Chain A
Amino acid sequence: MSDTVIEVEGVGKQYRLGLVGTGTIGHDLNRFWAKIKGKEDPYLKIGDLNDQHQKSENGWVWALKDISFSVKRGEVLGIIGKNGAGKSTLFKLISRVTSPTVGTIRAKGRIASLLEVGTGFHPELTGRENIFLNGAILGMSKSEIRSKFDEIVDFSGVERYIDTPVKRYSSGMYVRLAFAVAAHLEPEILIIDEVLAVGDAEFQRKCLGKMKDVAGEGRTVLYVSHNMPSVKELCTSVIVLKHGTIHDTGKTHDLIPRYLAETIKAIESTDGEIPVNIDRLNTGGARFTQIHIMSEKLVPKRVFHFKEKFIIKLQIDILKKLERAAIYLFICNPMGETIIMATENAQFNCLLFEQGIYEINVKFEDVLMPGSYNIELLICDNKGSSIDCIQNIKGFQIMKQTRTNDEEYPFVPVHGYILPKTHWNINKL
């Protein structure tokens, strides 16, 4: 009991859909009357669950409903779920940005929330001034910041520009400085919302490492992310939110495969059609329309023999001319980790795509170990921003037996994912 640092009990948050601000006097008066008469708020009884695909019956929606959980000291809790499942709302409630409609949240110790990096950064102020300002906004005292100042500057790597106004910074420098401040907070409870989605890969790794340190020091971390590998790496347990309620909860290594398996996108092998409204990150320039998984002889298949070659055929509809774009095909394990990144050329050059439909055949040699695999498709521009991305497409399975059945993968647990082409030279000396 005394180990519990956060306790969330029956928390719900109701929002009104549509325009806010006009026509609310009537509602306010209604509420006021109910209060005077000692009745329950009339608007608390109504409201739909937070399912964005369904049209609401009335103007009210529960962004979160009946959320109860507790977090122990030193635990790193991941919160996952689709966009709009209520993750950010939950974090806003815990970090006191807004208050719940019903329920109670109790916490022990100082809470610092990082719902965004660089909150309160002022473009006219220098890096140095912004470190102090941002640190104070996040709840540090001046002396605390002063004692960590060198560390922060060092971590951010913008030492040369520390006395330059941040409006002259590149966006990367800006983000690095902002994260550096946040990373040196020392609260008992740290709330982080996908701040890792910024910065280059090297800096992201640095951030992840820093967050692991934080967790290692026995502090409690709540972490929201779409990025399964980082959740897996950081979190000890996970809560899955769906339509504003807790859908599933458990230890990370059990839950993530379960979650991925549940949300997997099964695509019929007969026509290979990818529905337009499938859960995808699309910015409108292009759209993956078909995916076929086939044997070397172009027979649709989902189960392959060990060491069998296979082909993945894609169709992509380019809606407007793309000057420089690249298509990637990722193969992931059931934990959502990328095993293979395949692209058209090893130089990672971008290609020109005219408007129209393209068909792409990707032939894989015998590269994979037995196991089941999923697929992620991505087309992005030369800056790496996604044009269309579909994650977690149901893939295929590779059996332990080879095609001729004369050979079999010998071990019970499969070790690794890739069957490397190596040349061994063994000499007795």
Chain B
Amino acid sequence: MKEAEEGWDLVIKPQAKWYQLDLAAIWEYRDLLMLFVKRDFISVYKQTLLGPLWYIIQPALTTLTFTVIFGGIAKISTNGVPPILFYLSGITLWTYFSDCLNRTSNTFISNSGIFGKVYFPRLVAPLSVLVSNLIKLGIQMLLFLGVWTYYLYTGDTLKPCYPYFILIPFLIIVMAGLGLGFGILISSLTTKYRDLTFLVGFGTQLMMYASPIIYPLSTIRKPEYRHILMLNPVTSIIETFKYIFLGNGILNWYALLYSIVFMVILLLVSVIVFNKVEKSFMDTV
């Protein structure tokens, strides 16, 4: 049997090995990945007046809302950081995570038209989502950096930690990995059991409240609450981000390590599941 498989470029069998992740094939399709990104970018903002400006309007309005409701009405402390900057920093990073999660979580269902007709490494589709959201994040970071610079020169409440700026790309990568991991895991499970699709939308919304977006982690005094919050792998990323830019947050290396380990394991599991599902999802979707 072994010899029979030599000399063939492609062997299709009912069950692929679970660890069979063909990264080389994904690399071969990098052009497709970039074209998907371009498609997403063009198609979303064609026939809109403001175009990519919407990328800025969304976090700006959310920040204003949060500032009024949580800062003004509910009077939740921001530890002395200007509320607008505080909320904007959390929202910017959180939006990237939740967008990645939401948009990759229906990979199979929204692409079933293409997937049902042509083969290409299926991971290209969710990976392209990460990249197109990265562009969006870039634009939103510009907004954030603008506001941040304004406060940096007009007040003295900010104590940015410049040497740690080198950590920023890495924080974004972990966020991307978490979003992708959760997303494709959900997308794999929803091909057969659609129930999860109902959960994704409000699930991420609920998760936002379990992340230090509208409150600083340091204001949570009760240890049991804090432990629960630290279980959320996003928590330490956002806190670190705030620590670096605002000088106000908790930088805990163990917590960061936890997030990374969480991400790696999640990615491994989800890619294995994804790989298994992609072989035959057309029969169930």
| A residues adjacent to B (C-beta < 8 A) | 2, 7, 15, 20-21, 24-25, 92-111, 113, 115-116, 119-120, 122, 124-125, 129, 132-133, 136-139, 141-142, 165
Which of chain A's residues have a CB closer than 8 A to the CB of B47? 124
Known: A97-B116, A105-B10. 7 other contacts (CB 8 A): A24-B192, A94-B12, A104-B13, A106-B4, A107-B9, A108-B10, A133-B35
When A99-B12, A108-B9, A165-B46 are in contact, do A136 and B113 touch as well, CB less than 8 Å? no
Pair B117/A97 contact, Cβ less than 8 Å: yes
Pair A122/B114 contact, Cβ less than 8 Å: no
A116 to B119, CA, bound (A): 12
Number of A-B contacts (CB under 8 A): 117
Which of chain A's residues have a CB closer than 8 A to the CB of B193? 21, 25
| B residues adjacent to A (C-beta < 8 A) | 4-5, 7-16, 28-29, 31-32, 35-36, 38-39, 42-43, 46-47, 113-120, 192-194, 279-284
Which of chain B's residues have a CB closer than 8 A to the CB of A142? 31, 35
5 contacts between A and B (CB under 8 A): A20-B283, A98-B280, A107-B10, A139-B118, A141-B31
Pair B118/A124 contact, Cβ less than 8 Å: no
A215 to B115, CA, bound (A): 27
Pair B12/A129 contact, Cβ less than 8 Å: no
Which of chain B's residues have a CB closer than 8 A to the CB of A106? 4-5, 8, 10-12
Pair B8/A119 contact, Cβ less than 8 Å: no
A138 to B32, CA, bound (A): 9
- Other-chain residue from B14, B114, B118 in contact with A95 (beta carbon distance below 8 A): B118
By beta carbon, the residue of chain A nearest B115 is A97
Which of chain B's residues have a CB closer than 8 A to the CB of A136? 29, 31-32, 35
Pair B280/A137 contact, Cβ less than 8 Å: no
When A104-B12, A124-B46 are in contact, do A97 and B118 touch as well, CB less than 8 Å? yes
Which of chain A's residues have a CB closer than 8 A to the CB of B32? 136-137
A103 to B11, CA, bound (A): 11
In the A-B complex, the 5 residue pairs with the closest CB atoms: A96-B119, A136-B32, A99-B279, A105-B12, A106-B8
- Other-chain residue from B11, B39, B115, B282 in contact with A105 (beta carbon distance below 8 A): B11
A125 to B42, CA, bound (A): 7
Pair B118/A113 contact, Cβ less than 8 Å: yes
A250 to B32, CA, bound (A): 39
Report the minimal beta-carbon distance from A89 to chain B, rounded to whole angstroms: 10
By beta carbon, the residue of chain A nearest B16 is A99
Report the minimal beta-carbon distance from B87 to chain A, rounded to whole angstroms: 33
